[in-house]
């Protein structure tokens, strides 16, 4: 029985929830998992970039590396499911990802990693199969887990363990929605106040050597032209700039070298970045 490291991205972030999830995953995998709370202003957008970055960080190892298990619990904010959105799973190289079926979270994985389909599971169906095959559950225990509100605690760790062990977990294949294009938004505000965007820098209009981008001040609503630079070190100290940052595949960042871009522009996660350029009024012909 292998015990790969477990990384959990979750919006269940209070100490009680974190303690329970840590204990259950440790009991099932024999090691303490890494739980990363994601509960900012836009948890779906933050999780989408963070999941892509987690998987991106397993590249360029100089060798095969070790498999990991990544758990993602960020439910869509639509409320259309009878007991919560289903959980699905997929693999990127040797890494297993179990996630809520959240189109916005999964769209970057489709776009940049080529994962176009996932295996969707039904909680009760999986538990019934496990009880009939390999797990020591009574029918009452199956019912208890299937009905629970905290499925990321009672169900997802079991699903992860069974998939790692190669159990015949029932599922159905579903394509990942391509996702509609949207205006660039702040996905993550890091501890320095840098605003990581959800698009590559070269997709921003005006991003080029010597170019500029109109950034919307979130507090005043007044746009400000911000110059573009290749890297943070190229930005003049104390000045704002748009650079190719460290996230995603060349994703853009709004930064201030030596300061906080989020504070200066009044931005938080989920905020749109670009302002519309004001076209000059045509000259009057007399």
- pLDDT digit string (tens) for 163-180? 999 999 999 999 998 766
Question: 82 or 272: whose pLDDT is higher?
Answer: 272
> What CATH code is assigned to 6-175?
3.40.50
pLDDT beyond 50 at 274: yes
Q: Would you mind telling me the total number of residues written for the chain in this entry? A: 286
**Quick one: residue 258, left, alpha or beta (phi over 0 = left, psi -120 to 50 = alpha)?**
left
Extended strands (E) in the chain:
6-10, 34-37, 69-73, 87-92, 95-100, 117-121, 172-175, 186-189, 195-200, 212-216, 223-227, 240-244, 251-256
Average pLDDT over every residue of 142-165:
95
Average pLDDT over every residue of 44-60:
95
pLDDT of 85 reads: 87
- pLDDT digit string (tens) for 5-49? 999 999 988 999 999 999 999 999 999 999 998 888 899 999 999
Contact 157, 151 (CB under 8 A): no
Domain ranges of the chain: 6-175, 186-265
SS3 of residue 227 by DSSP: strand
Q: Are strands 69-73 and 6-10 parallel, antiparallel or unpaired?
A: parallel
pLDDT of 282 reads: 46
d(CA 266, CA 271): 10
Question: Which of 77-81, 196-200, 262-266 has the least mean pLDDT?
Answer: 77-81
Contact 98, 69 (CB under 8 A): yes
Phi, psi of 155 (to 5 degrees): -100, -50
Q: Are strands 212-216 and 195-200 parallel, antiparallel or unpaired?
A: unpaired
- DSSP type of residue 68: -
The fold for domain 186-265 equals Elongation Factor Tu (Ef-tu); domain 3 (2.40.30)
- pLDDT digit string (tens) for 181-193? 678 999 999 999 9
CB neighbour class for 26 (10 Å; exposed up to 12, middle 13-18, buried from 19): middle
pLDDT beyond 70 at 285: no
Average pLDDT over every residue of 133-146:
96
Phi, psi of 186 (to 5 degrees): -75, 120
């Amino acid at each position: 029985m292998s015990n790969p490291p477990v990384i959990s991205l979750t919006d269940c972030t209070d100490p009680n929830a974190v303690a329970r999830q840590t204990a259950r995953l440790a009991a099932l995998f024999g090691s303490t998992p890494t739980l990363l709370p994601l509960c900012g202003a836009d948890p779906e957008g933050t999780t989408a970039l963070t999941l892509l970055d987690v998987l991106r960080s397993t590249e360029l190892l100089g060798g095969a590396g070790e498999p990991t298990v990544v758990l993602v619990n960020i439910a869509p904010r639509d409320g259309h499911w009878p007991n919560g959105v289903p959980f699905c799973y997929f693999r990127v190289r040797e890494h297993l990802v179990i996630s809520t079926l959240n189109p916005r979270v999964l769209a970057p994985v489709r776009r940049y990693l080529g994962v176009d389909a996932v295996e969707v599971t039904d909680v009760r169906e999986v538990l019934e199969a496990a009880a009939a095959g390999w797990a020591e559950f009574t029918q009452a225990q199956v019912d208890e887990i299937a009905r629970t509100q905290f499925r990321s605690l009672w169900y997802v760790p079991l699903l992860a363990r069974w998939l790692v062990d190669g159990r015949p977990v029932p599922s159905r294949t579903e394509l990942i929605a391509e996702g509609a294009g949207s205006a660039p938004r702040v996905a993550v505000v890091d501890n320095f106040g840098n605003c990581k965007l959800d698009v590559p820098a070269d997709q921003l209009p005006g991003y080029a050597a010597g170019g500029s981008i109109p950034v919307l001040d979130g507090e005043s609503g007044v746009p400000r032209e911000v110059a573009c630079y290749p890297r943070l070190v190229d930005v003049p100290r104390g000045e704002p700039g748009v650079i190719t940052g460290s996230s995603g595949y060349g994703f853009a960042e709004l930064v201030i070298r030596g300061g906080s871009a989020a504070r200066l522009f009044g931005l938080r996660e989920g905020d749109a970045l670009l302002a519309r350029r004001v076209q000059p009024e045509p000259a009057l012909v007399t």
